[in-house]
Amino acid sequence: MRLYTRLLAQATDAGASKPFRPAPMALLPPIPLYRRILRTHRKLPIQQRTLGDMYVKAEFRAHRDVDNPVHIIGFLTEWQYYAQQLEGDGWKDARMDRTKIDKMSGK
């Protein structure tokens, strides 16, 4: 997965008529994010950890050669959000957003 440094730049409101919304989080590069997710999986039960580790590895491998910047940003953003959810304890009782379910493919 190629990561372009210009994609990590923060937008500013200098010279803009309407200020930009600040980014809720800075995106982590792929390798540190991958490590963070695997470290976060350590606190899961063994069956969930095994399944999660295999899925994360497969997804990161499948997206290794993606060149589309929009796809890369979306991929990293969602995985970073996933890591943040697991680091907190609110995910245990949470329900999945209906819009995300609708966006999923039938595979």
Tokens 């999923």 found at: 104
pTM of the predicted model over 0.75 = no
Place 27 in a pLDDT band, splitting at 50, 70 and 90: confident
Mean pLDDT of the region 64-79 = 92
For residue 69, pLDDT over 70 is answered with yes
For residue 41, pLDDT over 90 is answered with yes
For residue 18, pLDDT over 60 is answered with no
For residue 31, pLDDT over 80 is answered with yes
